Structure formats: structure tokens, C-alpha cells
């Protein structure tokens, strides 16, 4: 019998807030993070909107010397990690450092620094690049910097599985803790991809909404959905073995009960039409967590607002839950935060835990026109009070990656 793995701290940054509390207040109230892109000049772009993190000044939160040596995604990770550690009240010492690890992911890495420094080369030559460029680019950079900032000396690495990166990081951390070789893992993901290169690339494959600021978008599961809105942010969780957390008197927020991952082996960007990979991952995760489909009280859907994804996920949910699928509240918080790529799954697990604690189901905003292909209960436009004990978080990524986490109230 495996020991329970519990959550004792959380940190969050997104377009709707720079702390966990700010995120939750805006998520439950259906506040949209969409606005005009200010990170670069969109004059020649068809996409002009994004869900940018606001009022985030790294110099206010880190020293200016440290901030300028880190990519934006690494700055997010540093701040969210500090919030999570503060909530957990975990003290990292020489005695316990070797049994504390870091699994902190990103989908791509330091793309902001890549673009900035490439432009410096074009304009001024190679000596204009930052001497910290390579550490700023590294996908494992945020994980390594958490060790430098706080002192954990267990394994520290990053997992890259596109938009499933955050959930896979948490899932792998969960498995490592269950093995008993570590007591605590700082885990989650961070992404900052609102750059000209990323926006152009995602638009060229037809994944992005081209609506203007002020228009209603993104529209997950709505008949008139036209694509994702790119976001940025970070979610960090402190996971611990139950006994370790209890022995140190930690306040336990929830139990992370199950994890499963599958691959579609089908297409580099498109999901299978029947959602087979996603449905298989949900079934496996429930089997591992030892929960029945009747136990599930809420599902935080991947729900990107792309035509193919939302339809395939709906089919997958029906495949797993049958007629019960119509009775389970399902929502896409990407309707508010945008799609934060690898970071999204980590943030959405935070939202699941907050929903459990507060007995509130967050809404899917911008839902106006029902789609016959997407006919489940997507909690349209307004949050819903509901007491429940078990939630599922879905994350599906380019490359055919499917990742599912199950969280439940801690008793």
C-alpha cells in the first residue's frame, strides 16, 4: 500500500493574478485575462491579443541583478515557488536538503531571451548577447535555479511534453515520492511564450483566435470557437509524503491521488478524433487513484477552444463516463487565463484544489452558442456552489501527449 502524497503549498501567476488568492478571486468571478499584445509590435500580425501577466515587475520581487540574469519564465518560477514555500512553511536545511527534489517544467524554455538576444546579434554583433543567455534558454533552468535559491539537493530536472509538461512534472514528482526515496518535491511548470515567434508559429498552424480585444474569445466548447488565446504564467506546488508532512505539523491542502499519461501515436499537433488517448489516460488515473466514475465531482478540461480539441475531449469524456458525463460539471479555465502552454496544467491543478476547498466550481466564460458536438455541462459563464470530494485535471499536448491528475479532499 503506497503512502498518500499531499499538497502543502501553492504558488500561482497568470493573466488574472500574481498570487494564488488573486487568481482564485478572478477565476471564480469569471474575469477574463485577454487584452491587446504589448510584448511586441503586432502591426503585421493577424493575431493581436493574448493573456499577458500584468503588473509583474521582477525587480520588485527579485533583486534587479538577479532578475536581469533570468528569462521571464524563470522569473515567474522564482516568485511562484517562493509563494508556495511560504504557504507550506517548509524549512529546507542541510539535514533534509538531500531528500527534497525539484521537478519544474516548461514547454519550450527561454524563448523571450532567445528572441531578444538574436535581435542584439543582428543589430550589434555577437558580443552584444548576454553572458547569461544559455542559462536563460535552458528548459531545466528554472528547476536548477530553485535549488540555488532555496537549497534542495535531491534530483532537479524539467520534463518537456508540450502542453502536458506541467501535469507530467507533477505526476512524475508524485511517482518519485511514492517510491519513498524523497520526502518533498517542489513541482509545477512555468511558461512565457508571448513572443513574435511563438504567436506567428501557433497562428500558422491554425490554432489561434484572430478576434480583436473586446470581442468574446476564447470560447471553449462553444459552437463559434475559433482557436486558443496564448497566455503565460506559472503554477508551483509543494508535494510531500503524508507522514513527513504530518510529522512537521504542515497544513495539508489536498491529497494528490492519481496520475496517468498516454500517447496518441497519431499526429504531431492534432488529437485523435475519438479521443482514445485522453479517455485511456482518464481511466488509468482513476484506476490508480482507486476512485469510481461516480466519485468524480468536477473536471477541469483541457478545453483549448480549438475546434478539434474540444470535440475530441468531449467524445473522450463520454467514452469514460457514459451517461454520467452529462451530470458532471466540466469547465475550461483557459477561457479566462488563455492557454499558458506547459504551465497550464499546473495552474489548473491549483484551481482544482481551490475548488475543492471552497466548494465552488469555476465557470467556462464566453459560452454563448451550444455546439451539438459539445453537449455536456460546461458550467457556462457563472461559477457554481457545489460540495464535492474528487476532481480531475486534463492536459493534452502537441505530440499526442495526454496527462491526467486526480486530486481529492484530504481526510
Q: 233 - beta bridge partners?
A: 191
For the chain, the structural domain boundaries read 5-247, 259-408
Choose the catalytic residue: 339, 352, 374, 401. 339
Residues facing 208 on adjacent strands: 228
Residue of 51, 234, 267, 302 marked catalytic: 302
Alpha carbon distance 279, 132 (integer Å)? 43
Residue among 240, 291, 282 at smallest CA distance from 260: 282
| pLDDT score at 315 | 98
Per-residue pLDDT reduced to its tens digit, 345-373: 999 999 999 999 999 999 999 999 999 99
Query: Which phi and psi (to 5°) does residue 398 adopt?
Result: -55, 145
- Judged against a pLDDT cut of 80, whether residue 1 lies above it is answered with no
| 302 carries an active-site annotation | yes
Mean pLDDT across 105-109:
96
**If you compute the radius of gyration of the chain from its CA atoms, what whole number of angstroms results?**
20
For the segment 278-311, what is each residue's pLDDT rounded down to a tens digit? 999 999 999 999 999 999 999 999 999 999 999 9
375 — pLDDT class (breaks 50, 70, 90): very high
Say if residues 208 and 230 touch (Cβ distance below 8 Å): yes
CATH number of 259-408: 3.40.47.10
pLDDT, averaged across the chain: 96
For the cut 90, the answer to whether the pLDDT of residue 397 exceeds it is yes
What confidence tens digit (pLDDT) does each residue in 247-279 have?
999 999 999 999 999 999 999 888 898 999 999
- Catalytic entry in 51, 163, 234, 374: 163
Q: What is the pLDDT of residue 277?
A: 95
pLDDT for 59: 82
Q: Is 352 designated active site? A: no
Residue 62 has pLDDT above 90, yes or no: no
Cβ atoms of residues 140 and 160 within 8 Å? no
- DSSP-based three-state secondary structure for 385: strand
Q: Are residues 410 and 390 in contact, defined by beta-carbon separation less than 8 angstroms?
A: no
In this chain, the answer to whether the domains covering 5-247 and 259-408 adopt an identical fold is yes
pLDDT tens per residue, range 37-50: 999 999 999 999 99
Q: What pLDDT shows up at residue 73? A: 98
Summarize the confidence of residues 206-217 as an average pLDDT.
Answer: 95
Which phi and psi angles does 220 have, rounded to 5°?
-55, 135
Give the Cα separation of 183 and 404 in Å (integer). 23
Could you tell me which residues come within 8 angstroms of residue 181 by beta carbon, excluding any fewer than 6 positions away?
99
**Annotated catalytic, 163?**
yes
Rounded to whole angstroms, the Cα distance separating 343 from 362 reads: 18
Q: Which fold has domain 5-247?
A: Peroxisomal Thiolase; Chain A, domain 1 (3.40.47)
13 beta partners: 234
What is the dihedral angle through the alpha carbons of 373, 375, 377, 378, rounded to the nearest 10 degrees? 30
Q: What is the pTM of this model?
A: 0.97
Amino acid at each position: 500500500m503506497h503512502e498518500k502524497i499531499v499538497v502543502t503549498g501553492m504558488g500561482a501567476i497568470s493573466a488574472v493574478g500574481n498570487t494564488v488568492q488573486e487568481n482564485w478571486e478572478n477565476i471564480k468571478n469569471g474575469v477574463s485575462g485577454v487584452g491587446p499584445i504589448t510584448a511586441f509590435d503586432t502591426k503585421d500580425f493577424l493575431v493581436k491579443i493574448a493573456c499577458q501577466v500584468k503588473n509583474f515587475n521582477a525587480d520588485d520581487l527579485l533583486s534587479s541583478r538577479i532578475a536581469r540574469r533570468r528569462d521571464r519564465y524563470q522569473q515567474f518560477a522564482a516568485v511562484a515557488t517562493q509563494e508556495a514555500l511560504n504557504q507550506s512553511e517548509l524549512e529546507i536545511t542541510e539535514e533534509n536538503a538531500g531528500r527534497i527534489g525539484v521537478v519544474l517544467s516548461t514547454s519550450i524554455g527561454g524563448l523571450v531571451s532567445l528572441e531578444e538576444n538574436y535581435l542584439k546579434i543582428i543589430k550589434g554583433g555577437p558580443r552584444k548577447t548576454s553572458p547569461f543567455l544559455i542559462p536563460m534558454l535552458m528548459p531545466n533552468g528554472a528547476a536548477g535555479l530553485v535549488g540555488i535559491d532555496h537549497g534542495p539537493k535531491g534530483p532537479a530536472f524539467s520534463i518537456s511534453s508540450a502542453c502536458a509538461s506541467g501535469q507530467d512534472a507533477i505526476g512524475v514528482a508524485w511517482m518519485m515520492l511514492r517510491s519513498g526515496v524523497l520526502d518533498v518535491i517542489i513541482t509545477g511548470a512555468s511558461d512565457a511564450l508571448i513572443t513574435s515567434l511563438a504567436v506567428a508559429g501557433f497562428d500558422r498552424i491554425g490554432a489561434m483566435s484572430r478576434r480583436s480585444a473586446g470581442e468574446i474569445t476564447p470560447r471553449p466548447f462553444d459552437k463559434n470557437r475559433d482557436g486558443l488565446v496564448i497566455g503565460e504564467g506559472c503554477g508551483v506546488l509543494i508535494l510531500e509524503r503524508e507522514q513527513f508532512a504530518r510529522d512537521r505539523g504542515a497544513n495539508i491542502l489536498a491529497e494528490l491521488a492519481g496520475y496517468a499519461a498516454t500517447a496518441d501515436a497519431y499526429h504531431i499537433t492534432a488529437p485523435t478524433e475519438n479521443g482514445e488517448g485522453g479517455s485511456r489516460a482518464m481511466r488509468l488515473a482513476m484506476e490508480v487513484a482507486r476512485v469510481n466514475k461516480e466519485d468524480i465531482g468536477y473536471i477541469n478540461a483541457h478545453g483549448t477552444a480549438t475546434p478539434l480539441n474540444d470535440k475530441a475531449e468531449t467524445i473522450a469524456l463520454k467514452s469514460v463516463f457514459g451517461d454520467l458525463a452529462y451530470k458532471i460539471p466540466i469547465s475550461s479555465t483557459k477561457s479566462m487565463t488563455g492557454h499558458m502552454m506547459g504551465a497550464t496544467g499546473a495552474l489548473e491543478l491549483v484551481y482544482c484544489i481551490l475548488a475543492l476547498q471552497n466548494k465552488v466550481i469555476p465557470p467556462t466564460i464566453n459560452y454563448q452558442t451550444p455546439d451539438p458536438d459539445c453537449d455536456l455541462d460546461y458550467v457556462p459563464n457563472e461559477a457554481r456552489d457545489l460540495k464535492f470530494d474528487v476532481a480531475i485535471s486534463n492536459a493534452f499536448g502537441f505530440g499526442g501527449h495526454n496527462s491526467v491528475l486526480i486530486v481529492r479532499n484530504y481526510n
